[in-house]
Amino acid sequence: MRFALRIAVVLAAVALGAGAVNAQEPAPRITLIELTPHIAVNDAAALIEAKKYADAIVILDGFIANQSQQVPEAFYLLGLAHYQLGDYAKARMPAERAARLASDAPVSWLELAADILKRSNQPRAAIPWLEQLIDKAPGNKVYWLELSVAYEKVGDFEKSLATMRLAQQTGLLTEDGDFRRLSDLLVHQGLPFQGAEVLDQALAAQTVSADEAPYTKLGTAWFIAGETDKAVQPLENAARAAAGGDGYVRLANVHITRQDWPAAVAALHAGMGKGSLTDEAHADLLMGVALYAEGKFDEAREWLTMAAQSDRHRAMAQSYLDAIDARTASR
């Protein structure tokens, strides 16, 4: 099944499931051509092998200009020579022409065209070459990851996700970054439950490293999916692993959503104890909210008064301070 058809099938599956970030970047394999009947082309290949790229370009430009018949090998070598000099703008045309002229372009020719376009920040133009590479070598994970990234760069997140899912179904996703990328795309596409499941299973299998970032992503995905109870443990793990206290503030926010006020207060104290908070006033606000919900109005007032010093949180803090005033005045 060709890639275009396979991705259409997966897109349909994604749509049913929904109800609605970097691949590795190895250079292409540099392979020279077999001997041709054209002496000039063979000479240029030898010059490229000797890393005399500018000399090869002179020979190839002259050969192509004086040749009535287009020789794919000449265009490939010309693109390769410009590529090796880092001149991707001049490399693009001959590399793409070589791949188009060849009746069955070698993988290395397709890799060269795709890599030139990637390095030129032309992801849309790179997509057809990456699709051809997958058709030729479906077991090469790098092609799948690069195609997914290319789709993401042009804003087609559906196909980016579908590409990663096909790679997963083919058994190609084996590394930490693979599963993190798939999970991120699922969450981005409104499938946080599935995104959390991918990361949860990868952590359980120790395919993803058990550190702060994946635990934070997992807890956040469960939270977005409405699974607040499931969000607690990974966020606790992330908070313990972090150098600063922001993770405990995220955890407190989940506890507040669950209306577990004592747990929220405990988490906030832990976060403040660790320090290095990105937004101290936000932590003050959450502490005031949790204490207010517990009926500890005097303590809540202290925290809310500190939070009200922040422009960002003043309105919310003041609304709780007003509520405290109203309650205490009616006693």
Q: Which two tokens stand for residue 227?
A: 């699974």
Question: In 3D, which of 68, 26, 63 has the Cα closest to residue 42?
Answer: 63
How many other C-beta atoms can be found within 10 angstroms of the C-beta atom of residue 320? 22
Provide the pLDDT for residue 38: 83
Has residue 14 got a pLDDT over 50? no
**Confidence grade of residue 11 (pLDDT, cut at 50, 70, 90):** very low
Mean pLDDT of 44-54: 95
Question: In 3D, which of 294, 285, 282 has the Cα closest to residue 321?
Answer: 285
Question: In 3D, which of 32, 45, 121, 48 has the Cα closest to residue 85?
Answer: 48
Q: Which two tokens stand for residue 100?
A: 């188009």
Provide the pLDDT for residue 184: 97
Of 3-17, 66-80, 194-208, 278-292, minimum mean pLDDT range: 3-17
Contact 144, 172 (CB under 8 A): yes
Q: Which ranges in the chain belong to alpha helices (H)?
A: 3-18, 39-49, 53-65, 72-84, 88-101, 107-119, 123-136, 141-153, 157-169, 176-188, 192-204, 212-224, 228-241, 246-257, 261-274, 280-293, 297-307, 314-329
**Residue range 76-101, pLDDT digits in tens:** 999 999 999 999 999 999 999 999 99
Question: In 3D, which of 196, 194, 140 has the Cα closest to residue 165?
Answer: 194
Provide the pLDDT for residue 331: 65
Instruction: Give the separation between CA 292 and CA 287, rounded to whole angstroms.
Output: 8
Provide the pLDDT for residue 115: 97
Has residue 220 got a pLDDT over 70? yes
Percent of the chain surpassing pLDDT 70 = 88
**Residue range 113-138, pLDDT digits in tens:** 999 999 999 999 999 999 999 999 99
Tell me the CB-side half-sphere exposure of residue 294, using CA atoms within 13 A. 19
Q: Is the pTM of this model over 0.85?
A: no
Mean pLDDT of 289-297: 97
Provide the pLDDT for residue 4: 56
Angstrom distances, CA of residue 134 to CA of 66, 73, 125, 275: 36, 22, 16, 49
Mean pLDDT of 29-48: 77
Contact 195, 183 (CB under 8 A): yes
Has residue 229 got a pLDDT over 60? yes
CATH for the stretch 242-331: 1.25.40.10
**Confidence grade of residue 22 (pLDDT, cut at 50, 70, 90):** very low
Contact 80, 111 (CB under 8 A): no
Type of residue numbered 166: L
Has residue 330 got a pLDDT over 90? no
Domain boundaries, the chain: 176-226, 242-331
Question: In 3D, which of 297, 322, 318, 296 has the Cα closest to residue 309?
Answer: 318
Provide the pLDDT for residue 9: 43
Instruction: Give the separation between CA 163 and CA 183, rounded to whole angstroms.
Output: 13
Question: In 3D, which of 72, 84, 77 has the Cα closest to residue 60?
Answer: 77
Q: Which two tokens stand for residue 248?
A: 């405990």
Q: Which two tokens stand for residue 30?
A: 């540099």
Q: Hey, which of 2-6, 69-73, 225-229 has the most confident mean pLDDT? A: 225-229
Provide the pLDDT for residue 68: 80
Provide the pLDDT for residue 51: 96
